[in-house]
Amino acid sequence: GDSVTQMEGPVTLSEEAFLTINCTYTATGYPSLFWYVQYPGEGLQLLLKATKADDKGSNKGFEATYRKETTSFHLEKGSVQVSDSAVYFCALRGVGIGSSYKLIFGSGTRLLVRP
């Protein structure tokens, strides 16, 4: 079945450092891909998404490119801030009849940014 694999955390960076959080997926066809962010004690917020191969999603300085050839959707940011500290979830929505109704989530990657 469909699945998402994320790099394990925590990822600890200093402010203004470059961020990469790896995400790879297994799915048939061309799923839609998402990054969600969860701040402590809160629900998930959509960060960005991409719905077809080579699409680049971007928001608040974060970017991710849908790479069909490597089945990846890595999250990047050029210069992180302390306020970016949160848990980041990669997710996909499949295209089949039995998989398009739900999101499949990775286990999440905690990011800690030090001043």
Partner 1 sequence: DGGITQSPKYLFRKEGQNVTLSCEQNLNHDAMYWYRQDPGQGLRLIYYSQIVNDFQKGDIAEGYSVSREKKESFPLTVTSAQKNPTAFYLCASSPTQGFTDTQYFGPGTRLTVL
**Measured at the alpha carbon of residue 85, what is the angle toward residues 10 and 89, in degrees to the nearest 5?**
65
Told to check if 56 binds partner 1 by CB under 8 A, we report no
Q: What is the smallest separation between the CB atom of 86 and partner 1, expressed in angstroms?
A: 14
Told to check if 106 binds partner 1 by CB under 8 A, we report yes
Annotate each residue in 7-46 with x if it binds partner 1 (CB under 8 A) or - if it does not, as one string: ---------------------------x-x----xxxxxx
From 23, 50, 80, 91, residue interacting with partner 1 (rule: CB under 8 A): 91
Q: What is the 3-state secondary structure (H, E, C) of the chain?
A: CCEEEECCCCEEEECCCCEEECEEEECCCCCEEEEEEECCCCCEEEEEEECCCCCEEEECCEEEECECCCCECCEEECCCCHHHCEEEEEEEECCCCCCCCCEEECCCEEEEEEC
From 100, 112, 114, 115, residue interacting with partner 1 (rule: CB under 8 A): 100
Candidate ranges 22-30, 53-61, 70-78, 95-103; the one touching partner 1 (CB under 8 A): 95-103
Which residues contribute to the site for partner 1 (CB under 8 A)?
4, 34, 36, 41-46, 49, 89, 91, 93, 100-108
